[in-house]
């Protein structure tokens, strides 16, 4: 029974949890208590196996630094949670066969590859098709030996081709040769035995291979279903009118709700993760309508329209033949067919049907029975010279009686002779279920959030109904033929797992002022910062534009706002001098009259000149930059000039928000300002700080990201930039995290993990400067931006570099003591695991688990040190816990835990939880621990410095316009310029600060 106050606070959470209970039990005859009881029995078996494995690991001979789990966490109030997993059962002695498939002809499009493999199964393996699962690209998994134990490990098949929409083969149907090669026999039962074994010597190196095979098997039925659209990553979307869930994003795009499927290994069992997922698709509509929608909601730029349409499949409507799909490769350009005897005459890039002429032979060449007269080749392959130029509009009116819209561009496809050919947009229909490769706009992101952000009960309802239906499972039935034929079974109920809710740490301000923490958040009120900075000189730069409202026409209008900010800073203990200088700059001249967007080059020049004018007499400690709007071009320009070129500490604020003088907004500015200037906002109480309170442990955050640039896209994947950011604490307060960022080439990063060694050296030198030339005894690294398959790379590539940095700086006397001790954890949120409370008392106001919930059993492996932690209380939607995986440990396992901690798992979980309360930009716990969060922000800031090269890809498409590429004639000299981004470095005056916050 909850109190009335609690019931009021939750605002109907009991109804939400009750709804969730109904959702999770409606497919079963059992009630919620029965399900929990059933899975509690199962969990006890899993828990016993987990404990038995740990006991063997704990007593095994020979100490090892490898990150074996030292135990399971014990602290916190115990709770029972649902997880978005179904249990997968496999028959005893289960083995499957894996085959590699390759088409001998090179350059076959992916969609065509899929059809060829489908025809291979129909024509040559029909009798065994029920025993086969495939990705329709390169792999076949079979429950039987396809070669019937023949000695030859491969076979070559001739596959007669027909299109997906064709019902019959044409007379001259092409023949593709497909090679099927036996790759390996996979023992699924051996993996299950390994997951249940308590034998310390048990090793199973095929785990990833088995899981990939199981992914194919479990997702195969969805792959072949005509009622579903599938995308890479085993993600499937219902597309039938009754089951499809769509949301119009505008500009010819729509979002679909579907489900990702992923088979995971856990202690003593296999699990199928099923999570609600979203992808942006092109709308199935007439191409003319899609283009009109894009022009209305997207962009009027022809180059961007071309990028938007590239690789889009369309069906032609002007002929009465079997439907065929064509792939758009671009728009008509004046450069088309320049090497042909009769090149087309195109007035301009993206010209319409009246402005595109092609050479028409007289008489017309005979129609091909293979392709028909669906499009106009830009030149006849025949040697005859008899003919004339004709516009696309004239051709379609004469031959088909169709009047074409002159405002629509002519699209370009590849014809049967591999030459470009033209089609008017009027006769094309966009094929349904095509994922959009273009970036979505800010307006579309808002619409996507409206569609995607849902309460936990809604997501749970989707998973247990449509998600289970997609898997072909339900109460007392198994409608998935692939699972039946392999002997597999998936339980229709979500599993339950044990969790614990960790207590919140104490937050302290100056004079040990301690605010109350409720749901992971607290109010600072007038408590002063632990260490307020002193601001002796600061100026402002007000950027105005005719495109936006002028909130401060005169200095007198701005003065009250500056005074309000100074007053709020004073409340927090920050002493500021009056602003002596200020400057207003009008960036209207940088606006392009044609599209209302800023010319980035002119914008940079204008802002750079304004900052030079502002700092002509002296360089201030800080510049307050007042922006007219949220325009990213302006923000990126300010950050690049201040951070990279001039080394000026700066903080940006929006004019409309500063004008309102909102207390919460000003308070947030104060938090960021104090951190940028080296202050300490708040610290944690030392009652359970563990190794951190000793002042001998440095915590490091590392992240990396791979932004795509226009120039390097043409240069190849090895020339793509990799942004690497590293932050590190400087003392026991864990409040200041100076950062360093490097931008490397992908090729260099893959080979050497870039400059992690020199980056760590610089962090250690800062630590020594602050701590009287003493280096830390312990270094704990939280590594973000890493996927599941990259754990080994961290050990092989990055760990040696981190150790190398330490070896250079630490004296021999410290090395002999085994110092420094190093631990490396992977920290991330790019996973699909979610938890739902089973009791109202364990839920927050949105029916998510309470903040501080940690799960290290049930969905993890006992041999691997991993756990999920939801430290925060989300403002809306379903909470996503952070995932932590220890790949290397020299710090925690061999150190005796001190009360209130029982073991090393408690210590690490407690430290990670505490770090979520040390993100200095807000007064609440965040979802990802501070070092990983800060490193992510640092990488995001570096993207501002790459904005010029990223520009052509953001909001336009996955590739630059073909016409632009042709005009620029990218060659080896362009590739050389693509390397210029490696010279981007933050100014030396800012490298010891939190400039990125």
- Within 10 angstroms of residue 15's Cβ, the number of other Cβ atoms is 13
Query: Among residues 676, 709, 733, which one ends one of the domains?
Result: 676
Average pLDDT, the chain: 86
Domain co-membership, 623 together with 667: yes
Q: Are 282 and 420 in contact (CB under 8 A)?
A: no
Domain co-membership, 385 together with 485: no
**What is the mean predicted confidence (pLDDT) over 858-882?**
95
CATH code of residue 967 = 3.30.420.10
Domain co-membership, 475 together with 568: no
Domain co-membership, 662 together with 717: no
Q: Which alpha helices (DSSP H) does 478-628 contain, by range?
A: 481-486, 555-571, 600-614
In a domain, 405, yes or no: yes
Domain co-membership, 411 together with 460: no
Tokens of 271: 């699990």
Buried-exposed string 137-164: b where 16+ CB fall within 10 A, e elsewhere: eebbbbbeebbeeeeeeeeeeebebebe
For 397-450, the pLDDT digits (tens) are 999 999 999 999 999 987 766 667 899 999 999 998 899 987 888 899 999 999
Q: How many domains are there within the chain? A: 4
Domain co-membership, 422 together with 465: no
Domain co-membership, 250 together with 395: no
CATH code of residue 648 = 3.40.50.2300
Domain co-membership, 923 together with 793: yes
In a domain, 941, yes or no: yes
Tokens of 545: 């534009």
Higher-pLDDT residue of 950 and 986 is 986
**What is the mean predicted confidence (pLDDT) over 678-696?**
86
Higher-pLDDT residue of 714 and 102 is 102
Rounded CA-CA distance 508/529 in Å is 9
Confidence at residue 227, expressed as pLDDT on a 0 to 100 scale: 92
Domain co-membership, 479 together with 544: no
User: Which DSSP helix (H) or strand (E) runs through 761?
Assistant: helix 756-770
In a domain, 357, yes or no: yes
Domain co-membership, 803 together with 883: yes
Share of the chain above pLDDT 70, in %: 85
Alpha-carbon separation of residue 445 from 223, 312, 880 (angstroms): 28, 22, 19
User: With bands split at pLDDT 50, 70 and 90, how would you rate the model's confidence at 479?
Assistant: confident
In a domain, 87, yes or no: no
In a domain, 830, yes or no: yes
In a domain, 505, yes or no: no
Rounded CA-CA distance 813/219 in Å is 57
Higher-pLDDT residue of 261 and 107 is 261
Domain co-membership, 417 together with 482: no
Q: Give the closest residue to 851 by CA, choosing from 277, 79, 12, 23.
A: 79
In a domain, 16, yes or no: no
**What is the mean predicted confidence (pLDDT) over 804-829?**
95
Confidence at residue 53, expressed as pLDDT on a 0 to 100 scale: 81
Rounded CA-CA distance 214/269 in Å is 13
- Within 10 angstroms of residue 752's Cβ, the number of other Cβ atoms is 14
Confidence at residue 378, expressed as pLDDT on a 0 to 100 scale: 57
Query: Among residues 385, 406, 430, which one ends one of the domains?
Result: 430
Higher-pLDDT residue of 363 and 105 is 105
In a domain, 730, yes or no: yes
For 933-967, the pLDDT digits (tens) are 999 999 999 999 987 765 544 333 333 444 444 44
Query: Among residues 676, 703, 726, which one ends one of the domains?
Result: 676
User: Across 30-34, 325-329, 925-929, which has the greatest mean pLDDT?
Assistant: 925-929
**What is the mean predicted confidence (pLDDT) over 114-136?**
94
Domain co-membership, 404 together with 467: no
842 Rama sector, left if φ>0, alpha if ψ -120 to 50, beta otherwise: alpha
- Judged by DSSP in three states, 996 sits in coil
Confidence at residue 963, expressed as pLDDT on a 0 to 100 scale: 45
pLDDT of 687 over the 80 cut: no
What is the span of the domain harbouring residue 958?
A: 683-990
CATH code of residue 362 = 2.170.260
């Amino acid at each position: 029974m909850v109190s009335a106050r609690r019931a009021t606070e939750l605002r109907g959470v009991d109804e939400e949890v009750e709804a969730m209970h109904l959702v999770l039990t409606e497919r079963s005859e059992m009630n919620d208590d029965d399900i929990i009881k059933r899975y509690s029995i199962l969990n006890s078996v899993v828990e016993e196996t987990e404990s038995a494995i740990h006991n063997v690991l704990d007593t095994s001979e020979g100490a090892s630094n490898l990150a074996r789990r030292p135990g399971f966490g014990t602290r916190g109030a115990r709770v029972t949670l649902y997880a978005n997993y179904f249990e997968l059962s496999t028959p005893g002695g289960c083995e499957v066969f894996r085959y590699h498939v390759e088409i001998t002809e090179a350059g076959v499009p992916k969609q065509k590859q899929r059809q060829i493999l489908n025809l291979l199964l129909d024509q040559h393996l029909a009798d065994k098709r029920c025993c086969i699962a495939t990705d329709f690209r390169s792999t076949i998994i079979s429950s039987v030996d396809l070669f019937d134990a023949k000695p030859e490990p491969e076979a070559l098949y001739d596959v007669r081709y027909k299109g997906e929409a064709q019902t019959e083969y044409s007379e001259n149907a092409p023949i593709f040769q497909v090679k099927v090669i036996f790759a390996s026999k996979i023992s699924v039962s051996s993996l299950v035995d390994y997951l249940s074994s308590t034998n310390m010597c048990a090793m199973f190196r095929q785990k990833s291979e088995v899981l990939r095979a199981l992914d194919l098997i479990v997702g195969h039925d969805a792959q072949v279903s005509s009622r579903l659209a599938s995308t890479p990553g085993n993600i499937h979307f219902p597309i039938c009118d009754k089951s499809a869930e769509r949301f119009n994003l505008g500009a010819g795009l729509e979002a679909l709700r579907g489900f990702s499927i992923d088979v995971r290994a856990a202690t003593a069992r296999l699990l199928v993760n099923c999570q609600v997922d979203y992808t942006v698709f092109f709308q199935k509509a007439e191409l003319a309508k899609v283009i009109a929608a894009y022009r209305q909601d997207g962009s009027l730029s022809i180059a961007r329209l071309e990028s938007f349409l590239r690789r889009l499949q369309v069906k032609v409507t002007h002929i009465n033949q079997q439907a065929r799909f064509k792939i758009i490769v671009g728009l008509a350009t004046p450069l088309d067919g320049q090497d042909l005897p009769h090149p087309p005459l195109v007035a301009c890039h993206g010209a319409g049907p009246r402005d595109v002429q092609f050479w028409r032979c007289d008489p017309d060449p005979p129609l091909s029975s293979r392709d028909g007269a669906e499009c106009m080749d830009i030149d006849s392959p025949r040697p005859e010279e008899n003919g004339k130029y004709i516009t696309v509009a004239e051709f379609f009116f004469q031959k088909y009686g169709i009047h074409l819209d002159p405002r629509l561009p002519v699209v370009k496809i590849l014809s049967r002779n591999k030459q470009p050919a033209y089609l008017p947009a009027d006769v094309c229909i966009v094929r349904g279920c095509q994922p959009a490769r273009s970036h979505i706009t800010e307006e579309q992101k808002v619409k996507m959030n409206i569609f995607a952000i849902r309460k936990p009960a809604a997501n749970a309802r989707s998973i247990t109904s449509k998600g289970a239906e997609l898997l072909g499972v339900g109460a007392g039935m198994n409608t998935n033929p692939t699972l039946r034929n392999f002997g597999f079974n998936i339980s229709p109920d979500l599993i339950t797992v044990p969790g614990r809710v960790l207590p919140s740490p104490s937050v302290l301000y100056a004079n040990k002022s301690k605010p109350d923490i409720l749901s992971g958040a607290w109010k600072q009120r007038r408590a002063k910062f632990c260490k307020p900075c002193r601001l002796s000189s600061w100026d402002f730069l007000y950027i105005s534009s005719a495109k936006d409202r002028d909130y401060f026409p005169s200095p007198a209008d701005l003065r009250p706002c500056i005074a309000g900010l100074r007053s709020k800073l004073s409340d927090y203990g920050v002493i500021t001098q009056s602003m002596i200088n200020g400057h207003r700059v009008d960036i209207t001249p940088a606006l392009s009259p044609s599209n209302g967007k800023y010319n980035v080059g002119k914008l940079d020049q204008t802002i750079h000149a304004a900052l030079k004018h502002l700092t002509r007499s002296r360089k201030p400690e800080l510049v307050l930059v007042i922006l007219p709007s949220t325009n990213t071009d302006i923000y990126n320009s300010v950050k690049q000039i201040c951070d990279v070129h001039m080394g000026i500490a700066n903080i940006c604020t929006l004019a409309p928000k500063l004008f309102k003088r909102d207390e919460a907004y000003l308070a947030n500015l104060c938090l960021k300002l104090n951190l940028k200037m080296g202050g300490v906002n708040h610290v944690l109480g030392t009652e359970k700080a563990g190794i951190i309170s000793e002042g001998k442990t440095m915590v490091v955050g590392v992240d990396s990201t791979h932004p795509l640039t226009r120039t390097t896209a043409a240069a190849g994947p090895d020339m793509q930039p990799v942004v690497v950011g590293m932050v590190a604490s400087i003392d026991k307060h864990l409040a200041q995290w100076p950062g360093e960022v490097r931008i490397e080439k992908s090729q260099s990063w893959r080979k050497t993990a870039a400059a992690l060694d020199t980056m760590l050296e610089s962090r250690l030198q800062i630590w020594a400067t602050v701590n009287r030339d003493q280096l830390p005894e312990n270094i704990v690294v939280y590594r973000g931006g890493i996927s599941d398959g990259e754990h080994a790379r961290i050990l092989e590539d990055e760990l040696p570099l981190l150790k190398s940095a330490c070896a250079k700086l630490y004296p021999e006397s410290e090395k002999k003591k085994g110092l420094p001790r190093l631990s490396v954890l992977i920290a991330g949120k790019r996973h699909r695991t979610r938890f739902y409370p089973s009791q109202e008392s364990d839920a927050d106001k949105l029916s998510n688990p309470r903040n501080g919930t940690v799960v290290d059993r049930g969905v993890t492996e006992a041999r691997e040190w991993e756990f999920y932690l939801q430290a925060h209380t989300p403002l809306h939607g379903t909470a996503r816990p952070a995932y932590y995986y220890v790949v290397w440990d020299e710090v925690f396992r061999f150190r005796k835990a001190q009360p209130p901690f029982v073991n090393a798992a408690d210590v690490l979980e407690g430290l990670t939880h505490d770090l979520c309360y040390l993100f200095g930009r807000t007064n609440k716990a965040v979802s990802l621990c501070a070092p990983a969060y800060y490193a992510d922000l640092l990488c995001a800031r570096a993207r501002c410095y790459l904005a010029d090269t990223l520009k052509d890809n953001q909001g336009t498409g996955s590739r630059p316009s073909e016409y632009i590429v042709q005009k620029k004639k990218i060659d080896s000299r362009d590739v050389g310029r693509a390397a210029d981004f490696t010279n981007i470095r933050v100014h030396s005056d800012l490298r010891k600060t939190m400039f990125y916050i």
